[in-house]
Structure 1
């Protein structure tokens, strides 16, 4: 237990970095941590460095594992299952693809075009941006392992239920015809060497960092502003735990945005520190990653309006239920 606590505090929470940044802010910048400016600068520097370190290490490790499961192999694995087991496997495979919702859509097209059931590909599409392994570790570093594990479980349940309902509703006819015409040829892929896998993992880290760095800076900046500059009574008036509509507002507020989960985590952290319910903060985070307007626009290119509405409705309802559940029972995890 002592070793686990040390790993959690020093490797995940990086308390050593927290102390180093505090020394930088107080002794080099001459700012007090007790004042808003000093607290904001510390929050920004500490969270940015921590997220980039963890993100780089985690994406490298996840990408190395992912190199054993290229899209064609993943499609073949999924093709061996049917029914609820296929939805569960599709949701689980989504956790090892560190992509945002927009970049998951080309894989959705490929899987559907290769003959996989639409419901299974939707389970993948829901879980891929929502519950990747890197976000789990980052959640644990910001909150704790109980919250991170609970988030994974509810995210996977949402993906499985959402995909299963779409499967049962037989909504294949609401997928644009060109998707089914986009057949994938069975081409035997060359086995990668260890050096190839390392190179692939390095390229994945660089590619993902290039795509998300701006969202991380913006997210941490918003988090620092919420944490140190916006009065708690203003936030409580809109998103307080006593407001029955707070979860719905938080979920819908995420829709117009487009950000990776890594950029929304600091905002969720700041909201919780300001007294916002855990479920409300997580609902905002899930709304941004799973329901962002740009990703819905992209999805509209490959599915018809009825399926898009069903998908959006299922995910929105699921996020709202999850939010209220975490608000009701979140005290068990804090």
Structure 2
């Protein structure tokens, strides 16, 4: 058993966490002549270490997850979802969201396609909530930063939000809050077509193209996120972070959720900010609430969603997500001592 724990610790610290890379970057900076005791050294080390680490994880994860996604095209996902009813359909919708696009703006076209194909509204919203919030990439990235307990609990609670949120929308009977053009235009997102048969080579090429496209799209946000994280890590006083997002501020989770809502980013861009905030003394729940809000409720994605749904349904969606994220944040704050 100790041997297995040793293997797991090595995997988490050296493979997912890449602690060896941090040492390597530090050694290179020392050889360049930067004083290892200076703030500049610490900031530059944080920046290059996180950019390289997240880039390696990003490309590796997207390739393998995209390969998995090739088995779940919209046509097949629609057929899978159509076999289930009630709460089980919401659960399957949320689970399918974990193997689909990495940001909310990419998920909305699929949501439109599923809705126009006649799938229950609650099921499509369970998918829409889970897709950007709890993809498989977030699980592995969070394991490298916060550990397995935090990562697993984050994914589980994210799926709970997705299932409950979709179920509530289903119970509220808001089908008339979908824009008419989606319900009437069957050609939009028509997923009732033959599923193409892909060879292994086709799937590898698909995964490679998805990796390159996603990398080009998110890399600027990685640079911005790591830059902000490096600034927080080395130049923002710890007492400021603790006062705003630490245990002394009862409303830290609510503030973090509201701050994260308008920002457009994804899990890869928010991870370095979260890492720096944790180092500075922010509560875990506040950090994860910020991450969930950024990935699920970004302003561009809400603008896109507004074109598909009417204001009442959009407000219900935002309210459910915000309340769910805040509750999750306070849960993490309550159990932070036991899971970190």
Please give the secondary structure, in 2, of the residue aligned with 1:4: helix
Q: Structure 1 residue aligned with 2:17, among 13, 17, 39?
A: 13
Q: Residues of 2 paired with 1:144 and 1:307: CA distance?
A: 36
Deviation at 1:185, TM superposition (A): 5.6
Deviation at 1:11, TM superposition (A): 1.0
Aligned to 2:198: 192
Q: Residues of 2 paired with 1:253 and 1:122: CA distance?
A: 23
Q: Residues of 2 paired with 1:283 and 1:194: CA distance?
A: 39
Q: Residues of 1 paired with 2:101 and 2:191: CA distance?
A: 25
Q: How does 1:19-34 map to 2 (within 5 A)?
A: 19-28=23-32, 30-34=33-37
Please give the secondary structure, in 2, of the residue aligned with 1:192: coil
184-193 vs 49-58, greater mean Cα deviation: 184-193
Q: Residues of 2 paired with 1:309 and 1:34: CA distance?
A: 50
Deviation at 1:182, TM superposition (A): 3.0
List alignment gaps of at least 5 residues for structure 2.
none
List alignment gaps of at least 5 residues for structure 1.
none
Deviation at 1:187, TM superposition (A): 2.1
Aligned to 1:117: 120
Aligned to 2:312: 306
Q: Structure 2 residue aligned with 1:210, among 186, 195, 216?
A: 216
Aligned to 2:292: 286
Shift of the 27–244 alpha-carbon distance from structure 1 to 2, 3 Å rule, reads same
Aligned to 2:282: 276
Aligned to 2:328: 322
Whether the 8 Å contact between 1:33 and 1:42 is mirrored in structure 2 is no
Q: Residues of 1 paired with 2:99 and 2:154: CA distance?
A: 16
Q: Residues of 1 paired with 2:237 and 2:228: CA distance?
A: 14
Aligned to 2:272: 266
Whether the 8 Å contact between 1:98 and 1:134 is mirrored in structure 2 is no
Q: Residues of 1 paired with 2:131 and 2:117: CA distance?
A: 19
Whether the 8 Å contact between 1:78 and 1:89 is mirrored in structure 2 is yes
Whether the 8 Å contact between 1:130 and 1:290 is mirrored in structure 2 is yes
Whether the 8 Å contact between 2:225 and 2:273 is mirrored in structure 1 is yes
Task: Encode CA deviations 1:233-268: one digit per residue, 9 max, x unaligned.
Answer: 122222221111111111000122101111011111
Whether the 8 Å contact between 1:32 and 1:39 is mirrored in structure 2 is no
Q: How does 1:145-156 map to 2 (within 5 A)?
A: 145-156=148-159
Task: Encode CA deviations 1:171-203: one digit per residue, 9 max, x unaligned.
Answer: 111010111123226321321111100000000
Question: Is 2:181 the counterpart of 1:178?
Answer: yes
Q: Residues of 2 paired with 1:71 and 1:33: CA distance?
A: 51
> TM-score when scaled to structure 2?
0.96
Please give the secondary structure, in 1, of the residue aligned with 2:94: helix
Please give the secondary structure, in 2, of the residue aligned with 1:10: helix
Task: Encode CA deviations 1:19-39: one digit per residue, 9 max, x unaligned.
Answer: 1111111112x2233321110
Q: Structure 2 residue aligned with 1:37, among 35, 40, 48?
A: 40
Whether the 8 Å contact between 1:254 and 1:285 is mirrored in structure 2 is yes
Superposed CA RMSD in Å reads 1.0
Question: Is 2:225 the counterpart of 1:219?
Answer: yes
Aligned to 1:137: 140
Aligned to 2:77: 74
Aligned to 2:95: 92
Question: Is 2:236 the counterpart of 1:230?
Answer: yes
Aligned to 1:128: 131
Q: Residues of 2 paired with 1:235 and 1:13: CA distance?
A: 24
Whether the 8 Å contact between 1:120 and 1:164 is mirrored in structure 2 is yes
Aligned to 2:104: 101
> TM-score when scaled to structure 1?
0.98
